[in-house]
């Protein structure tokens, strides 16, 4: 994670701008004097998506996408071919990839670019340290224990590789092709660096990244100016959900008689003409990017969406629920073994837990 100089770029913000982020689109609109980003679901996602069928490598929804090909410019990879990986280092890549649901080749690409898998271990001139070259300030936030000794040591190889996986997922590496490039750019702010890593990842075999190509993947705080959905539309969403009670939960299922959590919410909101992305993580960024607003715990209403991390690790939303009865803290969701009502109280202490209200699609000065 080498430190480099970054030029200052002047940006002219137009009243309406369209920026493509992988297969998702961010549309900026002016609302109340401020630019508000709105995430829309693009048909390109269906083209990029890879449906995974070998169990549970892809994350909720059963979707993934190919590790993107390198572009230009490149730098180190033009003169340094992909080196062989020592067995002990490859084992670390594999372990971190398993924990964070990433292709090991992507971690190997970073390791090759940074230190040729540990062959050049000196602290960089900028102060980056360890196998995966972390700056101490970045390590303080993202360093994790990968060796099992209870400490996060910047000089420990296992900790370094595990922390690289932690940092990449926290930076949105699973949010489509654009998310991969943004996460690698966060690791080192240079286009040549991103392309070098992708070149090396391809040399080691590439692979499929677990994630939704339609994920906007850029966070967001929502749009508090939006009106809430009308009560009748909320009732329609919940009526559809109730009609599915007892139907089985099946990983990757898309209905109409079996569901996973996000296909269930997607189908429910489709009843009122709202198109959600396919996976829970993508749905959360969709609503956060201008299609709704966050609601504090205790102020939720029926029809609100709850997002939390689950089996995909602490940095990734892996589950979505629909609030059914706030007083009893009950959801209606595809969870457990079937569609049912579940207590969402036990999710509130997770690393990622947030409640969002889908908006009606227009600004309102008098939201209630």
The per-residue pLDDT for range 160-183, each reduced to its tens digit, is: 999 999 999 989 898 889 999 999
pLDDT of residue 27: 39
Query: What are 177-227's pLDDT values in tens digits?
Result: 999 999 999 999 999 999 999 999 999 999 998 877 777 776 678 898 999
Six token digits for residue 145: 């224990």
In sign, the C-alpha dihedral spanning 190, 192, 197, 201 is: positive
The residue with greater pLDDT, 14 or 118, is 118
**Where do the domains of the chain lie, and which CATH numbers do they carry?**
68-206 (1.10.530.10), 226-363 (3.90.1720.10)
Place of tokens 């690790």: 313
Q: What would the mean pLDDT of 300-306 be, rounded to a whole number? A: 98
Angle value at C-alpha 330, between 326 and 331, nearest 5 degrees: 105
Residue 4 pLDDT class (50, 70, 90 cuts): very low
For 317, residues 6+ apart whose C-beta sits below 8 A from its C-beta are 280, 281, 284, 307, 308, 309, 352
Per-residue DSSP letters for 333-368? EEETTEEEEEE-GGGTTSSSEEEEEEEEEEE-TT--
What pLDDT score was predicted for residue 175?
83
Q: Mean of the per-residue pLDDT values for the chain?
A: 84
Identify whether the C-beta of residue 320 lies closer than 8 Å to the C-beta of residue 305. Answer: yes
Please state, as a whole number, how many other Cβ atoms lie within 10 Å of the Cβ of residue 351. 10
Residue 49, both tokens:
């998506």
- pTM of the shown model: 0.69
């Amino acid at each position: 994670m080498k430190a480099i100089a970054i030029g200052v770029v002047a940006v002219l913000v137009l009243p309406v701008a369209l920026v493509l982020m992988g297969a998702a689109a961010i549309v900026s609109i002016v609302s109340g004097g401020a630019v508000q980003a709105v995430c829309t679901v693009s048909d390109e996602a269906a083209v990029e998506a890879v449906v995974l069928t070998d169990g549970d490598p892809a994350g909720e929804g059963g979707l993934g996408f190919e590790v993107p090909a390198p572009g230009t410019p490149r730098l180190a990879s033009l003169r340094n071919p992909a080196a062989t990986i020592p067995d002990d280092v490859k084992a670390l890549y594999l372990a971190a990839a398993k924990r964070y649901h990433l292709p090991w080749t992507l971690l190997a690409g970073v390791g090759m670019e940074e230190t040729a898998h540990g062959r050049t271990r000196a602290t960089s001139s900028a102060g980056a340290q360890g196998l995966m070259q972390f700056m101490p300030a970045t390590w303080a936030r993202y360093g994790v224990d990968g060796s099992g000794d209870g400490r996060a040591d910047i000089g420990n190889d296992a900790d370094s590789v595990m922390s690289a996986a932690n940092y990449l997922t926290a930076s949105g590496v699973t949010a489509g092709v654009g998310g991969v490039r943004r996460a690698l750019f966060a690791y080192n702010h240079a286009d040549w660096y991103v392309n070098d890593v992708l070149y090396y990842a391809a040399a080691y075999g590439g692979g499929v990244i677990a994630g939704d190509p339609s994920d906007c993947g850029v966070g967001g705080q929502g749009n508090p100016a939006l009106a809430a959905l009308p009560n009748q539309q909320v009732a329609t969403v919940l009526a559809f959900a109730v009609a599915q009670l007892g139907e089985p939960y099946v990983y990757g299922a898309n209905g109409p008689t079996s569901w996973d959590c996000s296909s269930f919410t997607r189908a429910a909101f489709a009843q009122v003409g709202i198109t959600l992305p396919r996976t829970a993580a993508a749905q959360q960024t969709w609503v956060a990017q201008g299609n709704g607003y966050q609601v504090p715990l205790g102020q939720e209403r029926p029809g609100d969406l709850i997002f939390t991390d689950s089996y995909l690790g602490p940095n990734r939303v892996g589950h979505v629920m629909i609030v059914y009865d706030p007083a009893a803290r009950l959801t209606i969701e595809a969870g457990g073994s079937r569609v049912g009502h579940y207590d969402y109280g036990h999710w509130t202490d997770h690393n990622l837990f947030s409640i969002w209200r889908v908006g009606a699609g227009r600004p309102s000065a008098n939201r209630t």
